[in-house]
Amino acid sequence: MHVLLRLAATKCPLSTFGSDEIRWAGNNTGNFTVSSAYTVRKGIAFGLEEDVWKLIHQIMTNKERVRRHVSSDSQCHLCHSPVEDIDHALCKCPHAFLVWRELVKPRFLTDF
């Protein structure tokens, strides 16, 4: 309800600012081209891959804790598998698989 009241109280922009336009943000001209779409997609995919790579390598698994001498137990505390590494923590652990089962379409679950 609070959001609705704030929206109702918001003044519309003055017509002196000009009318709104739909413009493509993928290039300097504002016009869509297939080439600019590929460029945008490539930039997003590359950035995403890099971010995912960094994220995965920052996960502190029990195997990594043992390697860094922070712990002496590399076991998964959820399913009691002898070693909790990245592959186990994200894919092989039955508890992780429950999460993937909610997020991924059933036909793709075999890829795990």
**Token digits for 93?**
């652990």
d(CA 19, CA 54): 42
Q: How far is CA 49 from CA 45, 66, 75, 88, in A?
A: 6, 28, 29, 20
**Tens digit of pLDDT per residue, the chain (112 long)?**
666 777 667 666 666 666 767 778 777 888 888 887 877 776 665 566 677 777 777 788 999 899 989 999 999 999 999 999 988 998 889 999 888 888 888 888 777 6
What is the reported pLDDT for 2? 65
Angle in degrees, CA 19, 24, 53, rounded to 5: 135
Query: At a CB cut-off of 8 Å and minimum separation 6, what does 88 contact?
Result: 61, 76, 81, 96
What local confidence, expressed as pLDDT, does residue 43 receive?
Answer: 66
| Annotated domain spans of the chain | 49-112
Whether pTM > 0.85 for this model: the answer is no
Instruction: Give me the residue label for tokens 């502190």.
Output: 60
